[in-house]
Amino acid sequence: MALSAGIHGIGRSRRRYVTALSWLIASVVALASLPAPTAAQTSDWAAPPTVYILEAGHTSDRLFLDTWRTHRDLLGNPITEELEVKTGLPNAPELKQTVQYYEHVAIAYLAEQPPGEQVWALPLGKEAFDRDKVRERRDFVTKGTCEAGTADTCVLFPETGHSLRGDAKEFWEVNGGERLIGQPLTEALPLDGFIVQYFDRAVLRWKTGREISPRPLGKETAERLKLNTKRVPQPDGVPIYSEVLFIPPPAPIEVAVESNYWLDFGPGPQQGGSKEVVVSISAQSLWAYEDGQLATMSLISSGTGNVPETATPLGYYTVLTKFDVQTMEGTISDEYYLVEDVPYVMYFDNLGNALHGTYWHSNFGTPMSHGCVNLPVDIAAFLFDWAPVGTAVSVIA
């Protein structure tokens, strides 16, 4: 049952419900009579081009999204939406280009660059270097050297006369190098309680025994320029970011119709990981796997799909939140519903869809819900205790 108007009465005392033996017998008979489902084809699958990053309150799109996913430690989360501004980058200093500010850097889309080199960071590191020289009244001009035989651990940049070594060198190499961090403008030096090294496009800093943490130049610059960093609502049709969105669905599984393998073992884990719940809409069935082995199985009732809001969404999710009991209330297509004391609720998306126990019907094997996955109460109780937050949930055709 999906919530559309909110949740009320959360946190009532936990209850246990008893499932009648007659229902169990009917369930076994119904399960044995189900045909093997046809697995969804992968040819039409595509990862979303844009996502909404919930903790940031901003979107990330296409090449910027690819860059963020690959170099998240460097960028941090987005703090603005995309802007059209003059970047001052030397390839086209007078052109307005698409820019987005992230916590630590700001990145620009340069359409004229070859594929793979179209996202560059703005020179926020050079700007910070020039400001800090004045503030600190230091010229930071000490040049660098690399000793003989240290080519694997030290590199000297002839253009700036500075070296890069150790953990900073490794961080630079795996996080976009010159495109996103730039060449070093100083050697590593003590400043503000950190060891700091300035680059064209970023500033890296660290302490003994602690990992490198980029200075939040994106935040500093956005504040100085008075950019709009307020959270935006999740756009229609744009999913909330989860790395699961970028995992292609598995190839179709060929199962002979006369075999009970599908019903006995199910389609198998879809996402990997130690624990996973797999729901098949066509089979109206659920399987729970632990380390690839079947832990339990059951008939279910998915969404009726009479309107889009009552369809159980296909996709790859995780258990986000759990409540031992809730009262669910809302309106879908002008139909008001109120179901008190829904037991063993486990939400797997941010649209209100959940796995939960169902005491108000025993018609499992038939779509009955507003979008949630209805479960027999004993199965729901088992899953509630068995599946921690973060457990993979796969909903397949």
Domain ranges in the chain?
A: 7-45+248-396, 55-225
Per-residue model confidence (pLDDT) at position 208? 84
Q: In what order do the strands lie in the sheet with 392-396?
A: 293-299, 285-290, 275-280, 392-396, 315-318
By CB atoms closer than 10 A (0-12, 13-18, 19+), residue 124 is buried
Q: Which pLDDT score, from 0 to 100, does residue 250 have?
A: 65
273, two tokens = 């990981």
Predicted local confidence at residue 143, as pLDDT: 86
Residue given tokens 């507003």 in the structure block? 370
Q: What confidence score (pLDDT) does residue 260 get? A: 56
**Nearest 10 degrees: CA dihedral of 368, 371, 372, 375?**
20
pTM of the model: 0.57
What pLDDT is recorded for position 20?
32
7-45+248-396, superfamily in CATH?
A: L,D-transpeptidase catalytic domain-like (2.40.440.10)
Amino acid 387: pLDDT: 96
User: For the chain, what is the mean pLDDT?
Assistant: 84
Residue ranges in the chain modelled with pLDDT below 50: 1-41, 255-259
